Amino acid sequence: MVKLGSSFWRVGHGREIELGSTSVIMAIVNATPDSFSDGGRYDSVDKAVAHALKVVEDGAGIIDIGGESTRPDAANVDAREEQARVLPVIEALRGKTEALISIDTYRADTARLAVEAGAHIVNDIFGLQKEPDIADIAAKTGAGLCVMHTGRDRDKLDDVVADQFLFLERSLEIAGRAGVARDRIVLDPGFGFAKDTDENLELMARCDELQRLGFPILAGTSRKRFVGAVTGREAADRDAGTAATSVLLRLKGAAIFRVHDVAINRDALAVTDAMLKARDAFERKGTL
């Protein structure tokens, strides 16, 4: 098990959040008609805002708002439609909650408008490599930046962790050239993004190796296909399996957990955090 330190993730609008000592939950709020497990449930501003406020009550510290489904066979959405879906939700939430707001987008213009509307974090599933101007926006606005690994639209290395380093180091170079401060960046291994079941399981088993990059890790396994492959359950019934992955990845050092069902993951991670704190107390006692 990885030793869990404590640090602060500095994000937009002068905010920050402590990472490491206690698990942080990022709740998924899809303002879309076609996301793979909850498409259409929150496709109006009122529904999305109500759901966002509910997940904060359940224990989410971050709300991640997306306006385009990222499942492999999803229909393309243009920037204008994406913005029409997410910007009113962000604007409405800004005055209703102290939770951090994240925009799930790979488009630089959407990122810019979302931060102006009140978002604190930009979550880019293409790791700055589709529209690198996102890094410039993060640098200029001070927004937090989640840089995700993907295997889509590129040739991967055979070794899953070596491919993580290859891709993420390139993303970090883009962020560095733009002037994004290190304490504004977290990394996401991109579970499920052009990775088969075996690759996802190996990545879980070796996720602690990513600590060498020196950044907090966000884990996004919620209801993913590989969880279904292991459990035999359909997407909407994968929350218990997701909570198991959250526990295992917490033990491997992950700090943030992007999930659909906040309550079950909150409870699973609360037990995990309590055990880790008890372990650390025991080890300190042993060295006195």
Going from N- to C-terminal start, the domains of the chain cover 7-287
**pLDDT value of position 287:** 66
pLDDT at residue 33, as a whole number? 75
Contact yes or no for 49/85 (Cβ under 8 A): no
Give the pLDDT of residue 211.
95
- Report yes or no: 29 and 63 within 8 Å, Cβ to Cβ: yes
- CATH number 3.40.1350.10 is the correct assignment for the domain at 7-287: no
| Residues 163 and 156 sit within 8 Å (Cβ to Cβ) | yes
Q: What is the pLDDT, as a whole number, of residue 71?
A: 66
- What integer pLDDT is reported at residue 34 of this predicted model? 53
Token pair belonging to 173: 């170079």
* Helix, strand, coil abundance in the chain, percent, nearest 5: 45, 15, 35
**Which residue numbers in the chain have pLDDT < 50?**
35-36, 39, 288
Look over the chain and give the mean of its residue pLDDT values, rounded to a whole number.
94
Catalytic residues: 224, 258
Residue 75: predicted pLDDT:
73
Per-residue pLDDT, 73: 67
- For position 74, what pLDDT does the model report? 62
Residues written for the chain? 288
